[in-house]
Structure 1
């Protein structure tokens, strides 16, 4: 099950999430980024970091 932690990309944030697949995980990450980090959409450089930080 893929998982992600904001701290893994250098954010001072305790957000952690899991999902059954990477697409569902990215939806959760995008929602969090919009609500807590005012990132809508997520900038491409940050998205690249997010994708590299996803644990499978």
Structure 2
């Protein structure tokens, strides 16, 4: 089950998420970024960092 933590990319944020597949996890990460970090869109560089730390 893929999982992600904001702190794994250097953010001081307690957000952690797991989903049954990477597609759903990426959607959850994008929703969180929009709501908690005021990021309407994540850049390609940000997605690269995120994908490197998804376990």
Structure 2 length-normalised TM: 0.96
After TM superposition, the structure 1 = structure 2 runs for residues 26-45 of structure 1, keeping only pairs within 5 Å, are 26-45=26-45
Q: In structure 2, the residue corresponding to 1:8 is in which secondary structure?
A: helix
After TM superposition, the structure 1 = structure 2 runs for residues 1-56 of structure 1, keeping only pairs within 5 Å, are 1-55=1-55
The alpha carbon displacement at 1:45 in A equals 1.1
Superposed CA deviations along residues 3-46 of structure 1, whole A, max 9, x for unmatched, are 00000000010000000000000000000000011111111111
Q: CA RMSD in A?
A: 0.6
Residue correspondences, number: 55
Moved over 6 A (4+): none
Structure 1 length-normalised TM: 0.94
Query: Unaligned 5+ residue runs, structure 2?
Result: none
